[in-house]
Structure 1
Amino acid sequence: MLAPGTDHWCLELDGVTKSFGDTHALRSLSLSARRGAVTAILGPNGAGKTTLMEICEGLQNADGGLVRVLGLDPRRDAAELRPRVGVMVQDGGLPIMARPLELLRHVSRMYAAPRAVDELVDLLGLDAFARTSVRRLSGGQRQRLALAIALVGRPDLVFLDEPSAGLDPQARLVVWDLIEALRADGVSVILSTHLMDEAARLADHVAIIDHGAVLAQGTVAELTESVGVPAAMSAPSLEAPDGSVGSAAPPTPHAARLSGPLTPAARTALAQLAEAHGLTLELELELEGGARTLEDVFLDLTGRSLR
């Protein structure tokens, strides 16, 4: 991780923790997102994605660790960040009696140099329901309105929480094109999504989190080229500096090789152990059946059980 505040990053989290009573939502989570890129945050329900996003948006305080958004503290520097950050949340925060066009125009007047409202109306097809109250809109229509509100201020950084949720295929493609256009304009995008094809198409960098910790991160190509099922947490063998392998009082090893099935919970615990002791955790995993998809990677790391 680069030094805090560097111009390389739009988002920096280092050792961030957050608990709600006995529930540990974030466990020493560290993550960086480059400026001008699309960073996708993937994780099952309850993984900690919403907590992570809300801390970055200044809606919650972290219990510990470093949080920087565009080099600034999201709570202490909220007034400075607010004009520079757009936030799209899932079906929340929209006044139910307002009409979309009136609401969008109202929000645009809060910014010094807003994006043209008519442009967003045309781009996202808001005109068809511009005068219908928010409470009567479908889920997909609310999503399109929420996206327009997030973008009307011409943000340097935009947080998109499930932007394609409830959208039909045509609207989804429009949203994807819009996100790609934002990146082309140098806007940084933090994208939380459950759609693997969305992340695979749009993301420059992907972070998969679960149980409040980052399980894996990298480009889609990096994540899919060498991911499978790791092997035996019991009786690990140690690889010595000379390359020999033994179990009786070996010299200080360069690596500990674990073999056998590794559950998602155990994978998270191992990542936390490595983090606590300053170790680098590398999984050398066997591929089965050829190239894997981002969904294969996600399921291997987080499991297949419903939550």
Structure 2
Amino acid sequence: MPLVPGVQRLIDKTSDGPSLADIPLQQARLQLDTLSASFGVGDRVGSTSVVDIPTPSGAVSARVYRPEGVCGLPPLLYFHGGGWSVGGLDTSDALCRKLTARSGGVVVNVDYRLAPENPYPAAVEDALAAAAWLSQNAGDLHAGGPDILVGGDSAGGNLAAVVAQASRSANEFTVRAQLLICAAVHLDRRRGSYVEFAEGYFASTSEFEYWISLYAPDQDLSDPRLSPAAAADLAGTPAALVVTAEYDPLRDAAEEYARALRAAGVDVDLFRVAGQIHDFPVLGDLIPEGDAAVDGIVDRWRALLAGGSEAKPV
């Protein structure tokens, strides 16, 4: 289908601006921080708090969102997008509030270290440490546990997928399911939608290439801790809700990953949202039509966790 009206208005409004890949990194960070203020305030939640999560390299901050009433789900460990190099807790704040209020579960939004100051594997190390911490401390957060959920968008979806795969052999935590929103699951795959929607759809492939160069310089991009879709064995990977957008350069790689997980016997719900662009659920008020899709994401997420999901072919 065509781009939804809210997306078209956003593209028309921003098409004359410089690419984030063509401006100094600190300016790009400031620009995203400013844009995040336009995403809205999200839904009302019961409470929020900030905690420090210990990692081998020092503490990282996280924002904890609690729903009103009794928590009905295991806690969701969430990683924001931003190419591993920009963004922070405020980038995904509105979406985390919606996920909390509409799912009835606690969400823990992690402020992992950013590249290029802290390139790979810093973000992965922080993500794994956060998973272990949440599993051990979920009770103190009145969030259930010890099993946890992991999720994220774009680069954060990449980290969530890496943590989900790592949980198969981890002693410190167990991941029950993963929520991958417009996730970057294969950093070395450049075909299909990656070429078809390379320019003109808000997020460009030149920007993705720039973020990858900052995050993983001189790395083997086929390493599963960088490209979880490149893993040779996917058996035993936690159940997954894979959310893609019709006009997202990362769409095809994520959908191929969903089908590979399904072929490995994993419970997968693949949800492509028509007329939308990369990371649309995060953009909040900038794309009003995206709010209904968040309802769909939450409905499918709860169904997956209840064991009643069905993979939807695309």
TM over 0.5: no
Structure with the bigger percentage of strand: 1
TM-score, normalised with respect to structure 2: 0.28
Structure with the bigger percentage of helix: 2
TM-score, normalised with respect to structure 1: 0.28
Q: Return the index of the structure with the highest Cα Rg.
A: 1
